[in-house]
């Protein structure tokens, strides 16, 4: 008699984790809204990483234990359906931003930034083009926030391969995988510390997938302890985890509002400490008790459901609805920005994200055609919008914009010119050289 096929177990839904996600997102929105007292909001991204590591690893391990394997194509398709619809819509919005809002000099880099975001490599794009995170409130890219989505998507692609390989070939199953992840997490934290130089720009250590993987791996190790296993029913364990989780949550909030942006301690091993704080909150949130009840508060959970859309759409909306354009400031400006962001995120969630995730709009076979078409459409849109870079009137428009800002510099005696001679190839080389030179902060162009 043949053995019946094993089914893929499902990870339980924990409403409190949505509540925690909502609280962490809120402080980041406040910081991006110009409230500098929330300068430690960069730590909330670390919390998202650890939470993602916990949830994704739970899914993968339970599937492997239930079916004997991990269906990689199915996993990647589910992630694609969950994340890509809002991202594509958001990046199309970036194209509109480039067409109607961006200044001529912004178009120098916006094409590359949007395409990098579309391919989920924006974090490495910002490293290679020296776009410092420290300039996020003064000279930001409209897709600056896609750096963290890039890290998560890279994690979603490579991590299942690692999990499948370790579970197949390393003895001890969960324990073996936990050991491998602990070694990799330590290596990631050590690399971050090695790359970080106090007093200098921290973008390489901050944006790198290799340096931020440790925070994801802490969540992954936590999932190996809890996923699919019954919770310890002893009362003292419940009390202890609730107290530890509550203290960790209070400490997290305190750090969000007291830590200066790019604090050295975070890069010198602090990322691991903060990931452990997040892990304590997660453990308290999945066990019965007052912490889970607090984080499961319905408005928190509701914000958590649409948190991905809020994150994707908020940044270009914030850049568009600035004080100069609206005549507002402070909380009134932030309120307007949040109203528009919520409306867009709710519409995206109800009309686009949920239908696609549940296959109401796009079936599996049709999806393999629609997805590349959507990606190509975004790439084509940003190329067409930024094509004015190659029009003869672009240089004059840039000069006019610079004059309006009072940033035109007088001719220098030591200035020199570079002449490119030829056809369209030479023209494109000339424009490319101009774009590159203007992106270099160490050159006075």
What would the pLDDT profile of 146-158 be if each residue is shown by its tens digit? Answer: 999 999 999 999 9
pLDDT at 103: 73
Instruction: With cut-offs at 50, 70 and 90, classify the pLDDT of residue 417.
Output: low
Q: What's the chain's average pLDDT? A: 84
pLDDT at 444: 57
Is 80 exceeded by the pLDDT of residue 270? yes
> What own/partner pairs with CB < 8 Å and gap ≥ 24 does 255-260 have?
255/40, 255/43, 256/27, 256/38, 256/40, 256/41, 256/43, 256/44, 257/27, 257/37, 257/38, 257/39, 257/40, 258/40, 259/39, 259/40, 259/43, 260/39, 260/40
CB 267 within 8 A of CB 38: no
CB 20 within 8 A of CB 295: yes
Instruction: With cut-offs at 50, 70 and 90, classify the pLDDT of residue 418.
Output: low
CB 266 within 8 A of CB 196: no
pLDDT at 330: 92
3-state secondary structure 382-403: HHHHHHHHHCCCHHHHHHHHHH
Instruction: With cut-offs at 50, 70 and 90, classify the pLDDT of residue 141.
Output: confident
pLDDT at 443: 56
Classify the C-alpha dihedral 422-423-426-427 as positive or negative: positive
For residue 146, what are the contacts with CB-CB under 8 A and spacing of at least 6?
A: 87, 116, 117, 120, 122
pLDDT at 191: 97
Q: What DSSP character marks residue 268?
A: I
For residue 226, what are the contacts with CB-CB under 8 A and spacing of at least 6?
A: 58, 283, 286
Instruction: With cut-offs at 50, 70 and 90, classify the pLDDT of residue 409.
Output: very low
61 closest CA partner among 151, 166, 153: 166
Q: Where are the beta strands (DSSP E) in 132-205?
A: none
Is 60 exceeded by the pLDDT of residue 405? no
CA 50 to chain centre: 13
C-alpha atoms less than 13 angstroms from C-alpha of 222 in its C-beta half-sphere: 26
318 vs 397 pLDDT, higher one: 318
Is 90 exceeded by the pLDDT of residue 425? no
% residues pLDDT > 90 (the chain) = 58
CA 5 to chain centre: 37
pLDDT in tens, 161-209: 999 999 988 766 899 999 999 999 999 999 999 999 998 889 999 999 9
Is 80 exceeded by the pLDDT of residue 410? no
Is 60 exceeded by the pLDDT of residue 2? no
DSSP calls for 206-247: HH-HHHHHHHHHHHHHHHHHHTTSPPP--HHHHHHHHHHHHH
Helices (H), 227-306: 235-258, 264-265, 271-286, 290-295, 298-305
In 10 A of CB 332, how many CB atoms? Answer: 12
pLDDT in tens, 76-132: 989 988 998 999 999 988 888 777 777 776 777 788 899 999 999 999 999 998 888
| Ramachandran region, residue 71 (left: φ > 0; alpha: ψ -120 to 50; beta: rest) | beta
pLDDT in tens, 348-378: 999 999 988 887 765 555 555 566 777 777 7
The Cα 326–Cα 329 span in angstroms is: 8
Mean pLDDT, to the nearest integer, of 284-288?
94
Pick the range with the lowest mean pLDDT from 100-114, 273-287, 331-345.
100-114
Is 60 exceeded by the pLDDT of residue 69? yes
């Amino acid at each position: 008699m043949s053995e019946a096929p094993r089914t893929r177990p499902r990870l339980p839904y924990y409403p409190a984790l949505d509540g925690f996600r909502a609280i962490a997102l809120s402080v980041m929105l406040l910081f991006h809204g110009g409230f500098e007292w929330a300068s430690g909001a960069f730590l909330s991204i670390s919390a998202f990483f650890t939470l993602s590591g916990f949830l994704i690893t739970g899914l993968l391990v339970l599937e492997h234990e239930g079916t004997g394997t991990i269906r990689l194509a199915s996993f990647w398709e589910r992630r694609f359906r969950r994340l890509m619809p809002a991202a594509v819509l958001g990046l199309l919005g970036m194209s509109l931003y480039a067409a109607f809002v961006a200044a001529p000099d912004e178009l120098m880099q916006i094409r590359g930034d949007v395409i990098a975001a579309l391919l989920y490599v924006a974090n490495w794009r910002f490293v290679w083009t020296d776009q410092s995170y420290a300039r996020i409130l003064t000279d930001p890219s409209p897709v600056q926030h896609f750096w963290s989505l890039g890290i998560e998507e890279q994690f979603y692609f490579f991590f299942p391969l690692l999990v499948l390989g370790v579970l197949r070939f390393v003895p001890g199953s969960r324990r073996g995988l936990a050991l491998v992840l602990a070694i990799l997490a330590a290596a990631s934290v050590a690399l971050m510390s090695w790359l970080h130089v106090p007093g200098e720009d921290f973008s390489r250590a901050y944006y790198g997938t290799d340096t931020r993987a440790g925070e994801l791996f802490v969540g992954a190790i936590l999932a190996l302890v809890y996923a699919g296993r019954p919770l310890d029913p002893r009362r003292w364990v419940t009390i202890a985890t609730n107290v530890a989780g509550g203290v960790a949550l209070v400490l997290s909030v305190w750090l969000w509002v007291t830590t200066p942006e790019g604090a050295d301690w975070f890069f010198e091993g602090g990322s691991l400490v903060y990931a452990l704080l997040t892990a304590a909150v997660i453990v308290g949130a999945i066990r019965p008790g007052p912490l889970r009840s607090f984080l499961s508060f319905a408005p928190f959970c509701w914000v958590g459901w649409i948190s991905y859309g809020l994150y994707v759409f908020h940044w270009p909306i914030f850049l568009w609805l600035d004080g100069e354009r609206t005549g507002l400031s402070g909380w009134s400006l932030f309120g307007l920005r949040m109203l528009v962001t919520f409306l867009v995120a709710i519409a995206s969630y109800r009309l686009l994200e949920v239908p696609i995730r549940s296959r109401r709009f796009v079936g599996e076979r049709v999806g393999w055609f629609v997805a590349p078409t959507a990606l190509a459409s975004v790439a084509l849109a940003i190329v067409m919008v930024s094509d004015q870079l190659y029009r003869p009137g672009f240089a004059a428009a840039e000069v006019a914009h610079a004059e309006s800002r009072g940033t035109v510099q007088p001719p220098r005696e030591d200035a020199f010119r570079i002449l490119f001679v030829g056809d369209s190839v030479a023209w494109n080389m000339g424009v490319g050289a101009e774009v590159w030179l203007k992106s270099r902060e160490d050159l006075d162009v």
